[in-house]
Structure 1
Amino acid sequence: MNTELRRRAYLDAMQVASWLPRVELPFAAPSRPELLAAFEPEPEPAVAVAPLVQERAPAAVPAAPPASSEAVRERPRIEVPKPGTTAKANEPAAAAEVSTPTPRERPVPPPRFALQLLRAGNCALLVELPTGEPFQSRDPAYLLLKDLLRAAGLPDAPQIIGEPVRWPLLVRGNMDQGPQAALDFVQSFIGARLEEQQPCACLWLIGLPAIRFAGAADAEAYNRELQVEELGAAWALPGLELLMDEPERKRALWQAMQRVRRRWLEASA
């Protein structure tokens, strides 16, 4: 292969379609006269710098001077929007803000308790059922209740009034069964049952659920007298299970009983 064919093979491999040698090449074909005409190189136009690039490099970079003396016409600047901007970027910030919805308040779960209303002499007893079931004659809690009645000078065989009050009333449904609904129901139940009985000298509230949902009080009312609206005088006692678990409470209970027992003793005289 001669020198000219090798040169053309190199140019084809580099994908060069047309070329013009600067010097005369040995063994090359003569150049065409129109290819040897002098020409001026076209100046490169200035490229506008995008706003994103200007933020990263605040200093302006001067454009390269044109190769010829002719003035280069500047292309129009194209504004590139920043990432994350919208068409409403010029609106007030207050209009763009989205109010965060406030979470709904969780409903208060219904309390769970079982109460039994009894009658012993001139006193009515609202007793917490420790197991949720009616008392049996050999239950330790019932035997302790009989001891308390004997110590108070009342009959130790109390009479059961109605069915136990179990809360919540419904397992399913949309009815309000919160603490306030339980308080209203228990007080209405006791008031209706006591109207059917002879006048009551004192209402015993035995156990925290009885104190809370009949007397509208808490554990601080243990061994104290309460005046419950529409129910009259009441006496708050610790629960039977609590008295068995903590026998030291019986001393304070006995001292309080000496002050309160005059209510039913005077009424029976």
Structure 2
Amino acid sequence: MLIESRRRAYLSAMQVVHWLPRAELPFAAPSRPELLLPVAPVEDLEFEACPAQPAPSAAPAAPQARAERPKIEIPRPGSAPKPAAKPVEAEEQPPAPRPVRVPPPRFALQLLRAGRCLLLVELATGQPFQSRDPSYLLLKDMLRAAGLPDAPQLIGEPVRWPLLVRGNMDQGPDAARDFVQGFIAARLEEAPCACLWLIGLPAIRYAGQAEAEAYYQELKVDLLGDAWALPGLELLMDEPQRKADVWKAMRQLMARWKSVK
């Protein structure tokens, strides 16, 4: 049951200016006398649009031909609307996915020379070695156990990555590997070595192209030759039980740099 205000809103939405109910409507405003003239019966519709108000006359006005109303499609409940057709070009040429930008790795490495061996050592703090650093004292002990000079020579400044704080230059893992390997290869051209020690995971990853599973193993690296993968000095101090594995592997490789004269 509709109230008068809602009924008029529905009729305005249907663009019905004049209308006449078939029966008396509850809560409806009083009808004007000129609208109570007889009209043609309507079977399917509740309301009928009426023409403009005719002049008062004793005889009933002849019904005029009704104009055909535009057909409005109302979606039924449960029926999904039909999707709009997509252009053919959009289907044939999907947008290219954006490349995922990998953040640059962060590490600091120091290259040293001890006898006929080169050592690429991870700097856990990012700062150069000091003579009384516990990690540097551990490195000297390892060199003495290997039969090498315990006062290694620093070669250049530490390699810190990323190189630039700002800029659009690629500083991802691949660029870091190419830079570290190129730096070591240049030093090997100046003076070859019998074995390259890779101490610490960043040294193993970006110079030896290996991961932590390669600890204590000998590696064959393109452009760099034979290498030996070792845990970082800080890790050896935190987990002393690893020193036994280092010593076991060292005894098998010691002849490599001792036999070179």
State TM-score, norm by structure 1.
Answer: 0.69
Mapping 1:161-200, distance limit 5 Å: 161-197=155-191, 199-200=192-193
| Maintained 8 Å contact 2:204/2:210 | yes
Q: Deviations over 1:33-80 (max 9, x none)?
A: xxxxxxx9330575xxxxxxxxxxxxxx6358x9x9x87734302123
Deviation at 1:17, TM superposition (A): 9.3
Distance 1:204 1:110 in 2: 24
| Maintained 8 Å contact 1:45/1:73 | no
Distance 2:33 2:44 in 1: 34
| Maintained 8 Å contact 1:45/1:74 | no
Distance 2:88 2:224 in 1: 59
The counterpart of 2:258, out of the listed 233, 256, 265, is 265
Deviation at 1:260, TM superposition (A): 1.1
Deviation at 1:262, TM superposition (A): 1.1
| Maintained 8 Å contact 2:140/2:150 | yes
AA paired with 1:80? I
| Maintained 8 Å contact 1:118/1:161 | yes
Q: Deviations over 1:157-207 (max 9, x none)?
A: 00001111000000000000000000000010011122222x200000000
Identity of aligned residues (%): 63
**Is it true that 1:75 corresponds to 2:67 in the alignment?**
yes
The aligned residue for residue 254 of structure 1 is 247
| Maintained 8 Å contact 2:143/2:150 | yes
In structure 1, the gaps of 5 or more residues are 1-13, 20-39, 47-60, 84-88
Residue 233 of structure 1: SS of its match in structure 2?
strand
Deviation at 1:253, TM superposition (A): 1.0
Distance 2:226 2:145 in 1: 20
Distance 1:206 1:16 in 2: 100
Residue 267 of structure 1: SS of its match in structure 2?
coil
**Is it true that 1:217 corresponds to 2:213 in the alignment?**
no
Deviation at 1:251, TM superposition (A): 1.1
Distance 1:93 1:141 in 2: 68
**Is it true that 1:95 corresponds to 2:95 in the alignment?**
no
State TM-score, norm by structure 2.
Answer: 0.71
Aligned length: 212
The counterpart of 1:62, out of the listed 29, 40, 44, is 44
In structure 2, the gaps of 5 or more residues are 1-28, 49-59, 76-80
What's the RMSD between the two structures over aligned residues? 3.3
AA paired with 2:260? A
Deviation at 1:81, TM superposition (A): 5.7
Structure 1 runs, 4 residues or longer, greater than 6 Å off = 14-19, 89-92, 96-100
The counterpart of 1:229, out of the listed 219, 222, 237, is 222
Distance 1:157 1:178 in 2: 34
C-alpha change, 1:176 and 1:257, in structure 2 (3 Å) is same
C-alpha change, 1:98 and 1:151, in structure 2 (3 Å) is same
| Maintained 8 Å contact 1:43/1:72 | no
Residue 261 of structure 1: SS of its match in structure 2?
helix
AA paired with 1:232? G
The aligned residue for residue 39 of structure 2 is 43
| Maintained 8 Å contact 1:45/1:72 | no
Mapping 1:8-157, distance limit 5 Å: 41-43=37-39, 46=42, 62=44, 73-80=65-72, 93-95=85-87, 104-157=98-151
Residue 212 of structure 1: SS of its match in structure 2?
helix
